[in-house]
Structure 1
Amino acid sequence: MHKNNYYFTAFQNVALRKKITLIVIISLLLICISFLINLHFLTKQYDNDLYDANAQLLNNVITNIESQMSTIADISSYVTADTSIQESLTYLLDNQENTKTAISRRDAYEALYPYMFSNEYIKSITLITDHDIITMGENFPSALVDLDTMNNQAIQNAGRISWESGKTANQSTYCVREIRELKYVKLRKLAILYIRIDMEQIISDALEDAGYAADVIDFIILQNKEQIYPNETSIDISSITSDWDYDTKSYHMATIDSQKKFIISGSMRYVDWDYYYLRDYDRIFNHITRAKYATIFYTMLISMIALLLTNFSVQSILKHLDYLVVKIRQFGEGITKPPKKNYNYENRTDEIGTLHRSFDQMTHSVKVLRDENYDKQILLKDTTIKMLEQQINPHFLYNTLDTINWMAQMYGADDISTMALSLGNLFRVSISQNNDLIHLETELDFLNNYIQIQKIRFKERLQFEISIPKQYYQIFIPKLCIQPLVENALIHAMEHSDETCNIELSIEEEENKYLLKVSNTGSAFEDDLLEKIEQHTLKPEGSGVGLTNISSRIKLIYGTEYGLSFYNKNGYAIVVLSIPKEYSKEHNNSFQTT
């Protein structure tokens, strides 16, 4: 944690120019890394799509090849079941050399004719008996093939087809099956059928139909890991594919004779052969590789250009901030005249222009305020001196009122005594230098002194009642904020009327505030009273100015949501003073701690 704080603090202390440059570099680096990762996945996806496309085409090739082999297998079935061939081979089996064996051999030969030319890929059809070989088409190379192995395999298959190729069949491909006697279901061996096919032409045509060209593709077929197609090739596919994991994927990349190859492998289910499709990787992927490297190059180039442009832009922006810092530093040192700069910020509307204009306006305002304050301080000192010269000692005033009170009691003038005592108490509270916030109980004591004087004046016409439970006496309120409200009620309700005036002081509690209410009969408030007084649309009478002063004091102390409000209800003019609960509690705790 300490190490992290160290790096964070170090970064905070780096110059703003370097911070922005570092952030831009990191952002560009993250964008480049994200781009390269996406490019990698896109290239990989392209490889998969290429494999899928080639695998689909190759599947068509394999299907075509298997279809041709299936057709040849059907032809072999027709040959084994041909009546003429069955009869000729049966006669040859049961009879040795005589005049009719030559005729039977000829009949068998002629019976092969329609089958020989029923498929363009059949090169020859051969019947091999125990004593003879009958061939239609190209000569059967009996001396070049492993005839014994092929015959034994056919006999073991008991009439099922086998496909022989590779070294055993002299690099040719044969459809081999045993012909048995079908008459009376004797199933005696009559001959071995060999149909030699042009596998190279079948594969070549299938590839051409799929759109492949022989110069860009190698197609290799293995039987039991022995290459059977093509007859001659320089590629040893078995050694290349020996360590492949076929369960993971069916395509691979391999380097053969210094050339990278794209290889797809699979099996021909019909004949249980494995095939391998090889294409020159460079021909397929060279343009992709070039595009990839070109993309990376241009990405890096554009990133460098973006970095240079960003650095230039940051320099051009921060030079104005540097100039602002110089002005602030000089202002802090007391130099009010800014350094010369051949640039006008007055017509600039962006944040930099706003900062410079605001700072210039602030420095001008500070200078004006400083000069005005200096003049006011001089005037205040002169005023203070004059006030000290003319000030009356407040103790002389208190002693005088006490003397009047004593003499009034001595002569039995109770009203004069009460007024003198109450007036003295009012003066003490008014000129005291205590806090601006006092307990509600203290404010009510002050109000009671005021009411005592007014009751002597108005007698029974004034009915005053305080309806505030003692539980609220310890809340704090602004000093001398209730008496002006009661005085305002007296002025408007009794100065111009001889009727009895009822004044009631009460308190209500809401969720987050206290509401002190002064209600009186004999008058009514105008709508929007405070606004009219403040805007001078209504001339204040009596303590009207005092109301605006009280409202301003409350808003300054507590906030604009508190203050005075006025309304009329049921013949009463009601003024409401609102103060917050929490402020009063906090001030009370602070007062108790002190």
Structure 2
Amino acid sequence: MKPFYSNFRIKNKIFSVSLLLLIIFGLLGLVTFQYFTNLYEKRIYEESADMLQLSSSVVDKELNMIEELSFQVSTDTVIQNYLKTINENRFSFESYDTKVRLLERMLSYASARKYIASMQIIDLHGETHTTGFDTSLENDTGKIRRVLSGSNGGNVWTKIEGENGISSARYIRKKANLSLQEMGTLVISIDMDTFVEETLNFSPENKDMVITSQHEIFYQSSDSDWEVSDFANEENDSGYMIESIDGEKYLLTYSRSNFSQLTYHHLLPYGDIQKQTNAIKVIMIVCFLLMLTLTVLLSKRAANNISKPLEALSSRMKKVQQGDFSESSLPEKFHDDEIGELHDNFQLMLNRINELIKENYTKQLMIQETEYKALQAQINPHFLYNTLDSINWLAKVNKQEKISVMADALGNMMRNIISKKTPMITIKEELEIVCNYITIQTYRYEHRLNFSLDVEEEYKNSKIPKLSIQPIVENAIQHGLEEMIEECRIRLSITEAGEDLEIAIKDNGPGIETGQLEGIYRGEIRSKSSGIGLNNINERIKMMYGKDYGLEIDSEVGAGTTVRIRLPYMTE
């Protein structure tokens, strides 16, 4: 069944494909944008939680130092002696002098941190002794006593009513003789604005930071009117959530203190996170609409420009189909593009039709002649084989063993060369050609030719281009043996070189001069007999296997020549 759009006109297909691609890319862009938007928002959430975790760790560390300072002050022997004097002699001059020295002692501790607004000691008579840079911060002593009553003597944190600050409070108990008798109450008031500015100066955004404890907001860094119920949904020790507060969505991150009852919160308006993604979304929609409009206009125009010349060409083809070959030249209104080339080529085709018809008869005659010659080429080798077999038979009848062996070797050699049509043969088959050739030459040169073969059986199944070794052996005889009086020794060996095979043909001939070697590599010096030069073999091998393979000739005048063939070791 054909697709429903198969019968659409080309211009409608082009328009439909363009529109479909735009819609697909638009949807992919939307999905990709949504994915990366979610990834971006999640990263913002995690970074906000990590920043709060870091901030809470710093705040925890500082508040812990305040607790340690509170413990140090409450157990200070000097301060306890001053309190003992004040508690026992309330209205004496000695008590007044002791109060002054107590304040001086307390001031030395209060100056340890810039954010300590004041330090107060409430004696057993209820009198408050206050020092620090801001003594206006007043604590509700009744609330402090109520909170301390359930503290088991430890430090407690409490909110300073009406102020944006918190206080550290603990009982001062007599440490002499470990009596732990109550001697008064120590309250350290902290200016939280200064505290946050000093301790969290590494964070660029500290606004909307809130510290809560149980059912009360201890501190908030902005002027927003938060309620403690807004922060009552945290389930874990730390994390983040999207929370709707007073109709507005916030990213709320929280982290509980590791050593106190405090919980730290940070609020980031969700609109700030979405502001940038919404702007990108609007830009994407505008760009998509703009691209849609341009695609509709341009695809229609392009479809018309393509379809009109094709329709004109189709009309011309119908005329030719009806037998009208008298077409005019290429219309001038078409551009010199691919469709214009189609019109031009169609016109050239029409102009050539008659010539092709006339040439067809001549080509048929040439084909018949070629077939005849091919048949002749098949008959001639068989005639040659039959003739050699006849010579071999007659030689045996007349007991001419040498002639019989030479005719048999030549026949085998010709069969191996001509009968094997493939360009690749095994080394074993190539060596058969070489051995048949050596057999003929041995009867010709007799004791002057000494040929030896050193080939492992495992290498004989490797593939080699046909007539790669025999011409080199023939060259060794033609250029070596014929130019020397003494015995010519030719040794053929095959060794393994890594993953390749190296075939070496070595002779003890007169050698080759440097100039002649360069001529052989350039193909200027050819074989005297077979016509297959060393350069021809070298180029064939490089063409088949690459530049890393081929021939290498080592020769020294008076010391002989070695020709090495490097081939890949392959059995298939």
Instruction: Bin the TM-score by the shorter chain.
Output: 0.5 to 0.7
Query: Which residue, 11, 18, 27 being the options, matches 1:17?
Result: 11
CA distance in 2, matches of 1:480, 1:30: 60
Give the SS at the match of 1:343: coil
Q: 1:445-524 residue pairs with structure 2 within 5 A?
A: none
CA distance in 2, matches of 1:483, 1:287: 83
Query: Which residue, 76, 84, 104 being the options, matches 1:82?
Result: 76
CA distance in 2, matches of 1:178, 1:483: 124
CA distance change for structure 1 residues 295 and 307 in 2, over 3 Å: closer, same or farther?
same
Query: Which residue, 320, 338, 349 being the options, matches 1:362?
Result: 349
Superposed displacement of residue 223, structure 1? 0.9
Deviations 1:266-314 (A, max 9, x none): 3343534222222344455434422331133113312431343233223
Deviations 1:148-177 (A, max 9, x none): 4222134x1x3x32222377x987522122
Give the SS at the match of 2:303: helix
Query: Which residue, 216, 221, 225 being the options, matches 1:234?
Result: 225
CA distance in 1, matches of 2:378, 2:176: 139
CA distance in 1, matches of 2:339, 2:4: 27
Superposed displacement of residue 371, structure 1? 8.7
2:314 is matched with 325
CA distance in 2, matches of 1:144, 1:52: 41
- Paired residue type of 1:269: N
- Paired residue type of 1:211: P
> Does 2:191 align with 1:202?
no
- Paired residue type of 1:123: A
Q: 1:525-536 residue pairs with structure 2 within 5 A?
A: none
Query: Which residue, 200, 214, 217 being the options, matches 1:224?
Result: 214
Superposed displacement of residue 11, structure 1? 3.1
Residues 120 and 186, structure 2, Cα contact 8 Å, conserved in 1? yes
> Does 2:263 align with 1:266?
no
- Paired residue type of 2:148: N
With normalisation by structure 2, the TM-score equals 0.55
Residues 230 and 245, structure 2, Cα contact 8 Å, conserved in 1? no
Give the SS at the match of 2:332: coil
CA distance change for structure 1 residues 25 and 51 in 2, over 3 Å: closer, same or farther?
same
Deviations 1:14-65 (A, max 9, x none): 3232223222222222222222223223333433454465556555644553
CA distance change for structure 1 residues 29 and 336 in 2, over 3 Å: closer, same or farther?
same
Deviations 1:503-562 (A, max 9, x none): 99999796889xxxxxxxxxxxxxxxxxxxxxxxxxxxxxxxxxxxxxxxxxxxxxxxxx
CA distance in 1, matches of 2:93, 2:333: 128
- Paired residue type of 1:361: L
CA distance change for structure 1 residues 50 and 485 in 2, over 3 Å: closer, same or farther?
closer
Q: 1:146-225 residue pairs with structure 2 within 5 A?
A: 146-154=143-151, 156=152, 158=153, 160-165=154-159, 172-206=165-199, 210-212=203-205, 217-225=207-215
CA distance in 2, matches of 1:480, 1:112: 123
CA distance change for structure 1 residues 245 and 32 in 2, over 3 Å: closer, same or farther?
farther
Give the SS at the match of 2:339: helix
Unpaired segments ≥5 residues, structure 2: 363-367, 388-393, 395-406, 423-528, 531-572
1:417 is matched with none
- Paired residue type of 2:70: S
CA distance in 2, matches of 1:219, 1:12: 66
CA distance change for structure 1 residues 240 and 20 in 2, over 3 Å: closer, same or farther?
farther
> Does 2:115 align with 1:121?
yes
Taking only aligned residues, the RMSD between alpha carbons, in angstroms, comes to 4.8
Unpaired segments ≥5 residues, structure 1: 1-5, 377-435, 437-476, 494-499, 514-567, 570-594
Superposed displacement of residue 340, structure 1? 9.1
Superposed displacement of residue 9, structure 1? 3.4
- Paired residue type of 2:226: I
Superposed displacement of residue 136, structure 1? 1.2
> Does 2:273 align with 1:276?
no
CA distance in 2, matches of 1:129, 1:88: 10
CA distance in 2, matches of 1:89, 1:34: 77
1:559 is matched with none
Q: 1:437-452 residue pairs with structure 2 within 5 A?
A: none
CA distance change for structure 1 residues 32 and 245 in 2, over 3 Å: closer, same or farther?
farther
Q: 1:414-433 residue pairs with structure 2 within 5 A?
A: none
Residues 113 and 136, structure 1, Cα contact 8 Å, conserved in 2? no
Query: Which residue, 332, 339, 344 being the options, matches 1:352?
Result: 339
CA distance in 1, matches of 2:236, 2:77: 48
Query: Which residue, 30, 40, 62 being the options, matches 1:36?
Result: 30
Between 66-75 and 477-486, report the one with greater CA deviation.
477-486
Give the SS at the match of 2:4: helix
Deviations 1:441-478 (A, max 9, x none): xxxxxxxxxxxxxxxxxxxxxxxxxxxxxxxxxxxx99
Q: 1:537-552 residue pairs with structure 2 within 5 A?
A: none
CA distance in 2, matches of 1:52, 1:310: 46
Residues 252 and 262, structure 1, Cα contact 8 Å, conserved in 2? yes
Work out the percentage of aligned pairs sharing the same amino acid: 19
CA distance in 1, matches of 2:65, 2:74: 15
Deviations 1:48-87 (A, max 9, x none): 4544655565556445534542443233133122222122
How many residue pairs are counted as aligned between the two chains? 389
Deviations 1:84-128 (A, max 9, x none): 212233456678987866665565445323223443333332333
Give the SS at the match of 2:128: strand
CA distance change for structure 1 residues 335 and 240 in 2, over 3 Å: closer, same or farther?
farther
- Paired residue type of 1:357: D
Residues 105 and 134, structure 1, Cα contact 8 Å, conserved in 2? no
Residues 60 and 210, structure 1, Cα contact 8 Å, conserved in 2? no
1:69 is matched with 63
- Paired residue type of 1:222: T
With normalisation by structure 1, the TM-score equals 0.53
Give the number of the structure with larger relative contact order, counting CA–CA contacts within 8 Å between residues 6 or more apart. 2
CA distance in 2, matches of 1:134, 1:372: 128
CA distance in 2, matches of 1:12, 1:508: 58
CA distance in 2, matches of 1:363, 1:85: 120
